[in-house]
Structure 1
Amino acid sequence: MGSPVVIERIDAQKDHLRISANLSVIAEPDADNNPILAVFDVQFQKRQNGRAKPIVIAANEAPQQDPDLIAMVADAKRWTRELLEGKASSVQQITEREGLRSGAVRRILPLAWLAPDISSAIRNGRQPQHLTAKTLRTLPELATDWVKQRQILGFAPL
């Protein structure tokens, strides 16, 4: 015979836990008494630490979209359009409006001139595995020549 069980069940609700317990195990541990069931509702609030990361199980060769990388390229194109159309007067204005660190917008802007096949590959999740938003941020400078871009970013030549 196994150990007696005090906690029978725990149900997690949106704002509380419902705990069902058998108190007879505590009151008279050695007796074969009828169960004394009790239900406790305990208020709680789920807190998330950090940023949630989904767990995705996929084949190694399956495309893996990187939302941060896609957003970074989209930001570069949007900011470039704003500058060219006069909707933003300077890189500094965009930096302040977006609440970014000094130099962040300048490092991201060249992504607006990625080769079309590279932009498409990123959007479709077919970029090289090592190519992430973080690796792009650390590049000293991105070439405007599309052949060199493919080389630097790890894409096969066309």
Structure 2
Amino acid sequence: MTRAKAVPETVTVHVPFRFVKRGGRKEMQLPDSASSHRKMDNTLVKALARAFRWKRILESSEFTTIAELAEREGIAPSYMTRVMRLTLLAPDIVEVILDGRQGPEVTLARALEPFASEWALQRLSLT
């Protein structure tokens, strides 16, 4: 049996992308027209998990102040306060982050900056 066409030995694939810094790491970013499944920002997800865990611990009355809990965790109380502020994010924003559907502009550094307490204003400033 013979082949009708010869199979090329080399195949060249062109994939347009660029490198962007995200959370201190370099990440490949595809053009807006390309469909891609975003992966979760593990740093941001971990911070959300910590925030809700610390909130639960404080609500259980195991510790009476953030300073006491921060001392046990071995971190600065000011950092703990900034991270715990993430528990005030709108539930749909938290869901988008956990699903990895947030935009590239939503990083941990940006999420730790002061944000509006009203959920509608959060959606405008973080997305």
Q: Summarize the Cα distance change of 1:88–1:56 in structure 2 as closer, same or farther, 3 Å threshold.
A: farther
Q: Deviations over 1:25-57 (max 9, x none)?
A: xxxxxxxxxxxxxxxxxxxxxxxxxxxx79889
Which residue identity does 2:66 align to in structure 1? V
For 2:20, the equivalent position in structure 1 comes to none
- Corresponding residue to 1:125 among 75, 91, 100: 100
Q: Residue 66 of structure 2 contacts residue 77 of structure 2 at CA under 8 Å; is this kept in 1?
A: no
Which residue identity does 2:74 align to in structure 1? G
Q: Secondary structure at the match of 1:103?
A: helix
Matches within 5 A, 1:99-138: 99-137=74-112
Query: Aligned equivalents of 2:29 and 2:118: distance in 1?
Result: 36
Q: Deviations over 1:41-82 (max 9, x none)?
A: xxxxxxxxxxxx798898663222001100111111111111
Of Structure 1 and Structure 2, the greater strand share is in 1
Number of matched residues?
A: 100
For 1:82, the equivalent position in structure 2 comes to 57
For 2:121, the equivalent position in structure 1 comes to 148
**Gaps spanning 5+ residues in structure 1: where?**
1-52
Matches within 5 A, 1:10-49: none
Q: CA deviation at 1:128?
A: 1.3
- When normalised by structure 1's length, the TM-score is 0.55
Instruction: Compare relative contact order (CA 8 Å, sep 6+) and give the higher one, 1 or 2.
Output: 2
**Gaps spanning 5+ residues in structure 2: where?**
1-24
Which residue identity does 2:46 align to in structure 1? A
- Report sequence identity in percent: 30
Look at both structures and tell me which one has the larger radius of gyration over its CA atoms.
1
Q: Secondary structure at the match of 2:47?
A: helix
- When normalised by structure 2's length, the TM-score is 0.68
RMSD (CA atoms): 2.3
Q: Secondary structure at the match of 1:83?
A: helix
Of Structure 1 and Structure 2, the greater helix share is in 2
Query: Aligned equivalents of 1:60 and 1:103: distance in 2?
Result: 39
Q: CA deviation at 1:143?
A: 2.1
